[in-house]
Structure 1
Amino acid sequence: MQDILIVDGYNVIGAWTELKKLQKNDFELARDFLINKLSEYQAVTGWRVILIFDAYLISGKETKTKKSKIEVIYTKKSEKADQKIEGLIKKLQNVKTRIHVATSDMAEQWAVFSQGALRKPSRELIEEIGQIEKEIKRSTANTHRSSSMTKIQLDDATREKLEQMRRGF
């Protein structure tokens, strides 16, 4: 079974205190930060992650890109993220997939739930990302600690003898 996480980008940014503040000064930086965090989430969970941003304020066609293995979709001007999410659920839903949708929009949560997708409130996703960050820090600290403990302390005379043996003297 493949798990797919579809994220309403601006909804999650609006629920994430730090990103909400960052977004006021720099939309792009807030989006990139979210993409990086979702990339870590994807690496740990193994889920396929699709991030949707409303393209309001931007005219033109829908654009799709891939950043850090995250599929990023900017909707066309007249299409809302909710519409795109619901369309993706219809397209991707089958017996081999389990779709999760991250949004705090209650109406959207019920709409995706009625289509067979699982609801994931933005707050819950943010907390999961925080837990993953802690796990990554802990595992890298443990790796660093264990790698520094594998060195054998030798006095200079023993080290010199071993070096001579290695060179065949």
Structure 2
Amino acid sequence: MRRREDVLLVDGYNVIGAWSMLSSLRDSSLEDARDLLLEMLADYQGFTGMEVIVVFDAHQVPGIGSTFNQYRVSVVYTKEKETADACIERLSSELALRSRDLYVATSDLVEQHVAFGNGALRISARELLINIQQNRKEIERTLDYGSKVRNELDNNLSMDVKTKLERWRRGQK
């Protein structure tokens, strides 16, 4: 899952309920759980290059659904009387027609089968968490390696340039 044209559709509340750190946070503050999920998915999007779309169920909330970007992740609140499952089904069939790889992250087995039927690849909430954790380790490893390597100019200069610089340093022409 590392091609820029790939898309990851995430069933937001399903993932929050499936990840223990988010479900415990949800009990005290649903908004904080959503924000943490979006932060994690933004890091994942930045690392993989995939477009991430998170769908939150708002079918019991009166009004029109909304779509906006947070941390460069597309966030969709469903329309009134539309479930997240129905929205994901609609989006997966629309996006599958654009010849790109489409992944749907949910632990809802029925939703996984419907997404698979629309041509999407399914990924469970647990698998998504494992991918995010592996990416985080890779980023940390890269950052740790970068701090140990010295970027010395001396190794990148030809002998002729080194000689000229040494002469300048000694005040010779």
Q: TM-score category by the smaller chain?
A: 0.7 to 0.9
Alignment of 1:70-81 (within 5 A): 70-81=73-84
For residues 136 and 26 of structure 1, the distance between their equivalents in structure 2, rounded to whole angstroms, comes to 29
Residue in 2 aligned with 1:31? Answer: 34
For residues 32 and 153 of structure 2, the distance between their equivalents in structure 1, rounded to whole angstroms, comes to 42
For residues 9 and 88 of structure 2, the distance between their equivalents in structure 1, rounded to whole angstroms, comes to 7
Residue in 2 aligned with 1:18? Answer: 21
TM-score, normalised with respect to structure 2 = 0.83
Q: Which secondary structure does the structure 2 equivalent of 1:116 belong to? A: coil
The alpha-carbon deviation at position 91 of structure 1 amounts to 1.4
For residues 22 and 151 of structure 1, the distance between their equivalents in structure 2, rounded to whole angstroms, comes to 49
Aligned letter for 1:75? T
Residue in 1 aligned with 2:86? Answer: 83
Contact between 2:60 and 2:81, CA under 8 Å: does it hold in 1? no
What is the total number of aligned residue pairs between the two structures?
157
Alignment of 1:7-156 (within 5 A): 7-56=10-59, 58-94=61-97, 96-147=99-150
Query: 1:120-151 CA distances to partner (integer Å, 9 max, x unpaired)?
Result: 0110001000111111111111112224x859
Q: In structure 2, list runs of 5 or more residues that go unmatched.
A: 155-167
Contact between 2:60 and 2:80, CA under 8 Å: does it hold in 1? yes
% same residue: 42
Q: CA RMSD in A?
A: 2.2
For residues 71 and 106 of structure 1, the distance between their equivalents in structure 2, rounded to whole angstroms, comes to 24
For residues 79 and 24 of structure 1, the distance between their equivalents in structure 2, rounded to whole angstroms, comes to 24
Contact between 2:54 and 2:76, CA under 8 Å: does it hold in 1? yes
Q: Which secondary structure does the structure 2 equivalent of 1:58 belong to? A: coil
Query: 1:39-97 CA distances to partner (integer Å, 9 max, x unpaired)?
Result: 11111111111000001553211111101110000112311100000110121112521
For residues 24 and 152 of structure 2, the distance between their equivalents in structure 1, rounded to whole angstroms, comes to 44
Query: 1:97-127 CA distances to partner (integer Å, 9 max, x unpaired)?
Result: 1110000000111111111111101100010
Q: In structure 1, list runs of 5 or more residues that go unmatched.
A: 153-164
Residue in 2 aligned with 1:162? Answer: none
For residues 73 and 103 of structure 1, the distance between their equivalents in structure 2, rounded to whole angstroms, comes to 15
Aligned letter for 1:86? E
For residues 87 and 60 of structure 1, the distance between their equivalents in structure 2, rounded to whole angstroms, comes to 19
Structure 1 runs of 4+ aligned residues shifted over 6 Å read none
